[in-house]
Structure 1
Amino acid sequence: MLNEIERKSDLEVINKSEAGFILIIASSARMLAQTARASGFKPLVIDLFADLDTQSYAEDFNKITTLAKQYLKPAVDYFIKTYQVTQVVYGSGFENHPESLFYLNSCLSILGNSPDVFIDLHDKPAFFAALNRLAIPYPCVCFSQPDEFVDWLIKPMRAQGGFGIRRYLGEEVDLDSYWQSYQIGQQYSVLFLADGLNLQVIGFNSQWATNLGDGREFMFAGIINSCDLSIEGQSRVVEWLQKLVPLFNLKGLNSLDFIDDGVQSWLLEINPRPSASMQLYEADLFKRHIRASLGELSHEPHSIAGSTGYQVIYAQHDIIIPDEFLWPEGCLDLPESGVICRTGQPICSIMSHKMQAHTVMSALLTQQINLQKRFLIHGI
């Protein structure tokens, strides 16, 4: 927990034109490293991929096997000793490693939600009970095996990006899972900044999933900063946030996922960290994430010219990245030569910016098809 002196000191650091070293940790840290570098920081990166983009943005980097404390601690200790870094921003991947967040909190200033807030939001029984008290609708959930298995999904208590979500067919289920009724509709998210009491909406987004099989039927596939939800529908979601932000003491950049069938919206989850939609907006969100985490929520106007979309490209078969592979323009998160990507694993991602949302979607589809054709010749 930051005291007032530490909070002011951290604000002084980020307000400098050259903000200095900052530690970035995530399962895939490219987005945060890129935005940190663009904001004037010198990112020190720990993640699981160390892709070419991440290496180019990082002042130094360390690739580890998982974000479990036993693997994370030596890497963190190295950066503290070598660079005297004192601040850390975390991204995705800690859902199954909350102990690592508590470790980070013991030796660094976490710029984002505290470990306790992170834990509270992943305590599913308590979270949905809170939604009941606030009269916020969500698809029905069950924490014991239902009598019938029609239209139930199985969801892990702690996961990211749709991993582990699948249709329930009456089978035995891991104890660390719960059931939620399947809801037809368009999935959206809203990206927002918060200071623990107040919030600022950055934008509403549409997102989509893909079926990778083998218990990965609803994997995150892509997102675009375009949303056809009505103004009334968006206002309703903002009202949810006005209740949830102070209740959970949310700080920094967060996102809320929900689904809408054209008549009603249902809340799905809150991601208490910078999410993939962050990169769809040109609004210096990295620095604003830090300021909001430290209690300074600046309502800076930002305009959106056109639409930007982001999509993950998953391997349709085992491939090996050849030497000197020529990546097309718009590709991100590029693996090194010689890396083996197994079926269903992410290879890279793509982005497109156009004036119209439908042309963005068309461009992403074309890029995806062309990439997959090229990958066909590199199967193993």
Structure 2
Amino acid sequence: MFEKILVVANSGRMLARSALYIGLKPIVIDVFSDEDTRNLAYDFCQIPTLSLDYLIPSVEAFLSRHNVSHFIYGSGFEGHHDSLAYLNERLKVIGNQVKTFITAQQKVTLFQVLDRFNIPYPLVSFTQPQVDDLWLIKPLFSYGGVGIKRYLPGDEVNELYYWQRYQEGTLHSVLFLADGINAQVVGFNTQWARSADRDSEFIFCGIINSCELESTNKQTVFDWVKKLTIEFGLVGLNSLDFIHSKGQNYFLEINPRLPASMQLYGSNLLNNHISACQGVLEYNPIKNLVCRAYQVIYIEDDIFVPQFIDWPTYVVDVPAVGVLIRKGQPICSIIVHENNPQLVFAELADKQQQLITNLKGPNQDGIQRKPQ
């Protein structure tokens, strides 16, 4: 077993914590540079984006001073395939190979595969549709709902986007382990989006490790997972997003990398991920799993984060001192757990309101608004 591991993601906090839990020293490269990520990292580097221009110098600097041979990655590479390919050449990936990652996201290929397996999904179009239904504009390569919005006549849409018909329903995901041939469900989840305005209506906001769908619906989705695991050769932890409406499931996307939902199922999942990448599926479901949720808090006004802040213990992804958080951007996240989903949602609402109230107050809890 190796001693150190390189973690690369837009936000490396979750993966750094997971690595530490199983005894690894996380060498972290990320974009957000949150305080808790820095505290968890054995060594750390912030870069503006995951593009090659920024990534290569950081990786090479780490390789020159650390004996690190393996890496794991989270969200952010959806628009930086060349960066993932570079990492794949310099180190050994614990997760899906770059070819698998790209193929599973190539939309034309993906929808052809779904058609072949008779997996339903909301109608898509790669040419401008007739505006007689509700359509969405979606980036070809994105994550967390970023860039998705309702299509309006007159919108300029370039070749980096496609159209998909809007489908009402409840948003869900399934977290699963795979070894390239077989798959094992870790858990079904319910998700929700920000829904603040047209540009942020579909941006990921939160997820809970609870899903009230019937077992037959869950089995249908797991059947999709098994087929797609073999088709794409998926390994390790992955997730599949879907919408449920009036007894019908609709495929949305597959995330062939370590997803946010893994932090809802105990602290040992990175060990299971490593084993699955080595061909061994050994996840043992947690008995009496605590109902847990993760929610992103988006700020309503521009604020600076000053030096002295006493963040509550349920807050994660804590911003660094001096950072300017722009209106509509995430300032932090909260993780809560209770005995049932109803209590969890009540707790989320309460904690979020406490934070927002403090943020709106005049310099409450050390947080101040942007000077006028």
* Match of residue 109 from structure 1: 92
Match runs of 1:302-317 below 5 Å? 302-317=286-301
- Maintained 8 Å contact 1:306/1:357: no
Match runs of 1:40-119 below 5 Å? 40-119=23-102
- Maintained 8 Å contact 1:331/1:351: yes
* Match of residue 133 from structure 2: 150
1:379 pairs with 341, 349, 369, which one? 369
For 1:379, the aligned partner's letter is: R
Unaligned runs of 5+ in 1: 1-12, 14-18
* Match of residue 148 from structure 2: 165
* Pairwise CA distance, 1:325: 1.2
Q: TM-score, normalised by structure 2?
A: 0.95
* Match of residue 141 from structure 1: 124
1:341 pairs with 325, 328, 349, which one? 325
* Match of residue 7 from structure 1: none
* Pairwise CA distance, 1:306: 2.7
- Maintained 8 Å contact 1:192/1:253: yes
- Maintained 8 Å contact 1:156/1:178: yes
- In structure 2, distance between residues paired with 1:327 and 1:299: 34
* Pairwise CA distance, 1:283: 5.3
Q: Secondary structure at the match of 2:129?
A: coil
Residue-by-residue CA offset, 1:286-312 (whole Å, 9 max, x unaligned): 111112112222243422433000000
- In structure 1, distance between residues paired with 2:195 and 2:223: 32
* Match of residue 365 from structure 2: none
- In structure 2, distance between residues paired with 1:27 and 1:212: 22
- In structure 1, distance between residues paired with 2:221 and 2:19: 29
1:331 and 2:321 correspond: no
* Pairwise CA distance, 1:214: 5.8
Report how many aligned residue pairs link the two structures: 363
- In structure 1, distance between residues paired with 2:36 and 2:171: 29
1:246 pairs with 201, 225, 230, which one? 230
Residue-by-residue CA offset, 1:14-42 (whole Å, 9 max, x unaligned): xxxxx410000000010000011011110
* Pairwise CA distance, 1:176: 0.5
Q: Secondary structure at the match of 1:375?
A: helix
- Maintained 8 Å contact 2:272/2:283: no
For 2:51, the aligned partner's letter is: A
- Maintained 8 Å contact 2:150/2:198: no
Name the % identity.
46
Unaligned runs of 5+ in 2: 363-367
- Maintained 8 Å contact 1:307/1:357: yes
Residue-by-residue CA offset, 1:210-262 (whole Å, 9 max, x unaligned): 13436222110000000001011001111111111000000110000000013
After the TM superposition, which segments of 4 or more aligned residues of structure 1 sit over 4 Å from their partners?
none
